[in-house]
Structure 1
Amino acid sequence: MIRYQFFPRSHGITKDVEAVINCFKIVDNDISSDHLQLNSNDVLEKLRPHLEAIDYDVETGKSKNEKIPVPVLFGNNNEIDKSFNADALSKDGKIVIEVEAGRAVDNNQFLKDIFQACMMFEVQYLVIAVRNDYRGGDDFKKIYTFLETLYISSRLHLPLNGILLIGY
């Protein structure tokens, strides 16, 4: 079952963010961690046609020309000096999507995703998709608790309008 929570919880989701949620709902049975053990690339492959239909660029593989680079630093003549790769990016460059599987919590990949999204030029929203069930643990709940603490404490202010956490 697809679960989701938008942070900060004091803000509602936009239509563009809702469209991403709907893509996950469409493929729910094909990606559900309750009965499948797909890796993140397999999940992204199931999502691809639906994300592309709502105008997203989606990573197609691991080679350089198949990745989605998002600018971070610019040099002389506005040439890109540094970029981070995203799993998917809205055509307007405002919403970045990261799909995680086993590494989401165990390797703190979600923290790297947050950091990178904060550095990406013009990105306003981050979508992090994680398994509901990973080796008997609830990655969605673990990251939910972390994000809840981050936003309630208000000690760290992120340069994003929000983070959408999706559990699949």
Structure 2
Amino acid sequence: MIRYQFFPKSIKINEQSQAIVECFLRVEEQIKSPNHTLSSNQVLDILRPYLLAVEMLVEAGKAREQKIPVPVLFGLNNKVDISFDADALSKDGKIVLEIEAGRAVDNYQFLKDIFQASMMVGVEYLIIAVRNDYRGRDDFAKIYKFLELLYINNRLILPLKGILLIGY
């Protein structure tokens, strides 16, 4: 079952993010865990046509020209000095989508996603998609609790307008 929660909970999900949730709902039977143990790239491949239809730029592969670099710092003559790659990016550059599979919690990949999205120029929203079931563990629930604590505690203020967590 596709589950999702937007943080902070005091703000309603925006239309573009809701359209991305709808993409996940359309392919739910093909990607849902634990029925499928797909890699994040395989999930992205299944989602690609639907994400493209809602005006997202989507990584096409692992080759340099197939990636989606998002600027972080600019150097001499305003050339991009540092960038981070995104799985998908809205055409207006405000929403970054990262799809995780097994490493979401074990390697704290979701924290890296939050850090990188926070550094990306012009990015306002981060969407993190994770497995509901990974080796019998509920990754969605673990990250949900972390994000809830982050937003309730209010000791760390992110430069993002919000984070949408999707469990597949």
Q: TM-score range by the shorter chain?
A: over 0.9
In structure 2, the residue matched to 1:18 is 18
Alpha-carbon shift at residue 6 of structure 1 (Å): 0.2
Matches within 5 A, 1:14-163: 14-163=14-163
Number of matched pairs: 168
Question: So what's the TM-score if we normalise by structure 1?
Answer: 0.99
Alpha-carbon shift at residue 133 of structure 1 (Å): 0.2
SS at match of 2:73: strand
Alpha-carbon shift at residue 60 of structure 1 (Å): 1.0
1: CA distance, partners of 2:107 / 2:33: 18
Runs of 4+ in 1 over 6 A off after TM superposition: none
Alpha-carbon shift at residue 42 of structure 1 (Å): 0.3
SS at match of 1:92: coil
Q: Aligned-pair RMSD on alpha carbons?
A: 0.5
| Fraction of identical pairs, as percent | 66
Paired residue type of 1:73 = L
Paired residue type of 2:155 = R
Gapped runs of 5+ residues in structure 2? none
Alpha-carbon shift at residue 77 of structure 1 (Å): 1.8
Paired residue type of 1:144 = Y
1: CA distance, partners of 2:17 / 2:88: 13
Gapped runs of 5+ residues in structure 1? none
Question: So what's the TM-score if we normalise by structure 2?
Answer: 0.99
SS at match of 1:24: helix
2: CA distance, partners of 1:166 / 1:25: 10
Alpha-carbon shift at residue 78 of structure 1 (Å): 1.2
- The answer to whether 1:2 aligns with 2:5 is no
